[in-house]
Chain A
Amino acid sequence: MSALGIYQILGFFLVILALTKPMGAFMARVFAGDRTFLHPLLRPLERLLYRLSGVREDVEQHWTAYAGAMLAFHIVKFVFVYGIMRLQGWLPLNPMGFSTGHAPANATPLTADLAFNTAASFLTNTNWQAYVGETTMSYFSQMAGLAVQNFTSAATGIAIAIALTRGFARQQMQTIGNFWVDLIRCTVYILLPISFVAALLFASQGVVQNLDAYTQVTTVEGAPQVIAQGPVASQEAIKELGTNGGGFFNANSSHPYENPTPATTFLQMVLIFLIPAGLAFTFGEMVRDRRQGWALFAAMSVMFLVGVLVAYGAEQRGNPMLSGLGVQTDATVAQPGGNMEGKETRFGIVQSALFATVTTDASCGAVNSMHDSYTPLGGLVPLFNIQTGEVIFGGVGAGLYGILLYAILAVFIAGLMVGRTPEYVGKKIEQKEVKMAMLALIATAFSILVFSAISSVIPFAKGGYWNPPGPAIANFNNPGAHGFSELLYAYTSATGNNGSAFAGINANTPWYNLTLGLATIIGRFLFLLPLMAVAGSLAIKKRIPVTSGTLPTDGGLFVGLLVGTVVIVGALTFFPALSLGPAVEHFLMKQGHLFSVMLRLPQGGPWL
């Protein structure tokens, strides 16, 4: 690791630290319905939306009504985006003619299973993409279908986090807010204005924004090349801000039209953490104890910094087998050294490792390098980040309600140790809260492990409907432990609503589209619904005064306990699976065994 690399990481962290309080305080005012500097401009739009939708902003909902409204909204969204994708051949803004008879020869058919997977994925803020954006989606599908989901799924996550926070902040109340009001306020005052400004900044740096047909050019070598175009800057902004992560292009943020410069990389990473970090402060502000919010921020920061330093260190050390062959893998003024496979030279190792850590700490899933090409330990960090439930700042809203789940478990464990009823932020944590927290954890772990296990062994006939390549494991590019990592990462990413891919696996078959789509739905709703039940349960309870027997939850001891709970629960749940994937791969690499892509020479030659 170089000093310059460490400075870049610390510089990024300091920017996030500086933005946390203003962003968090602003969001607290928005959700309390207080006046902000944007109200003169945007309050008329908010009122218009209430009038058009028939929502009364002064009427609040019980948690079940809040959850029901959220689920009903998602059913409508699912049908809407599915319909747009399947009918894109008849809809406007389709200059390349996707899903028509005039589609380019290399276009990916937008089949029913792919549309299901994509609809479920974008609905749940996952943005797992089993398709290649520039050869599959029309501009209309991208803008009216997917980008709308980016806004609404992000707003939903934030709304749930705010509802849970109200559960802690209120006492003796049956209601936790109004889903429609939270959704509208979040979209109007937070997501739209920041996305607008960020899109302009991206466009100023060279991110394209047009509705043109793709450009045909001839390269300097005389070869024909098609350069994809599109309304990228406007999608890029919400892709990062909403921790959605679905790239306009297949190469995502490593594509020069999505992420042209180190400056745009930095801005993208800041956008990913901006709301999740701010929400920790919002929590403290709403429960009227800012130290509680900063304690959550501190726990997230510790885990973030450890993760990024491990990933950066592993990638900078590179592959010992290459250095053993005499390849120069040290950083010099002329080259970055380390493991540069799958990384862009304009970002280098530190911005790639930092981006990989940020995008998997948050449930974003945008990538500026290929995680499949990371060293085993470098690749383990993103995988483990997702498996912890993405609570290290986390997805917008999802990070806060996820870390609050672990806070409930942490005080419960501490309560067991000292034999007292656990308390958190003045609320007694009792049977109901702990049952709900465990339900959320078990549901997501079940989805990851069971789907991975089934896909490891399930046989399919070659050329059949469900998985034309044959058995589900026939879709891997790599054999052995690395292939298993690809599979485990896919279901982890889908269930964790992350959406990044280890790559190396062809997931666009009906089996993977169906199961990964279901995994996104399980990971989203079976995780957040129990926490909404916690919100409802806590809102009814009285706040109890702090006594000498209360475990302080705003100090270093609790931060350590919280970090320990996250790591231990993650390790206990997933260690066996991780040991079969990246862990065993690391030790095999040390012994000189690699899992490279298998290529066979023509005429039945040997495997390479």
Chain B
Amino acid sequence: MTLAHFPRWPMLLDLAYVAVGIGSLTACWLFVKICDRL
């Protein structure tokens, strides 16, 4: 298999799930800021 065999739909899904992962961890940084203010 090569990258050419990698279907486009799963690649979009990959981007979405990676974004959810990175986004939720980044949101935790906002939580740090909230905890610092409280």
Contacts and interface: CB of A to CB of B under 8 A. Distances in A.
Nearest to A525: B28
A115 B17 contact: yes
Contacts of B20: 116, 514, 518
A contacts with B: majority SS: helix
Contact of A116 (B21, B36, B38): B21
A112 B17 contact: yes
A75 B22 contact: yes
A411 B10 CA distance: 52
Q: Which 6 A-B pairs give the minimum distances between C-beta atoms?
A: A533-B35, A116-B17, A112-B13, A525-B28, A78-B21, A67-B32
A485 B32 CA distance: 33
Nearest to B22: A75
B22 A78 contact: yes
Contacts of B35: 436, 439, 529-530, 532-533
Nearest to A113: B17
B29 A68 contact: yes
Interface in A479-533: 514, 517-518, 521, 525-526, 529-530, 532-533
A67 B35 CA distance: 11
A119 B17 CA distance: 10
Contacts of B22: 75, 78-79
A86 interface: yes
B38 A82 contact: no
Given A68-B32, A82-B17, A432 B38 contact: yes
Interface residues of A, number: 36
A71 B29 contact: yes
A196 interface: no
A529 B37 CA distance: 13
B31 to A, nearest CB: 6
Interface in A84-105: 86, 89-90, 100-101
A530 B38 CA distance: 10
8 contacts: A67-B32, A78-B21, A89-B1, A101-B1, A111-B10, A112-B14, A112-B16, A521-B28
A90 B2 CA distance: 8
A278 B20 CA distance: 36
A440 to B, nearest CB: 10
Interface of A: 64, 67-68, 71, 74-75, 78-79, 82, 86, 89-90, 100-101, 111-113, 115-116, 119-120, 432, 435-436, 439, 514, 517-518, 521, 525-526, 529-530, 532-533, 536
A525 B1 contact: no
B31 A526 contact: yes
A526 B38 CA distance: 14
Given A67-B32, A529-B31, A86 B26 contact: no
B contacts with A: majority SS: helix
B24 A518 contact: yes
Given A74-B25, A89-B1, A435-B38, A525 B31 contact: yes
Contact of B18 (A67, A71, A79, A514): A79
Contacts of A432: 38
A75 B36 CA distance: 21
A71 B33 CA distance: 13
B28 A71 contact: yes
A64 B32 CA distance: 7
Contact of A521 (B10, B16, B24, B29): B24
- The winner among A75, A82, A101, A526 for most chain B CB atoms within 10 A is A75
A533 B14 contact: no
Given A90-B1, A439-B35, A529-B35, A82 B28 contact: no
Contact of B32 (A71, A86, A101, A435): A71
B2 to A, nearest CB: 8
Nearest to A536: B36
A603 to B, nearest CB: 39
A517 B32 CA distance: 20
Contacts of A521: 24-25, 28
Given A78-B18, A521-B25, A533-B36, 20 more contacts: A64-B36, A67-B32, A75-B22, A79-B18, A79-B22, A112-B14, A113-B13, A113-B17, A115-B17, A120-B21, A435-B38, A514-B20, A517-B21, A525-B25, A525-B28, A529-B28, A529-B35, A532-B32, A532-B35, A533-B35
Contacts of A89: 1
Nearest to B35: A533
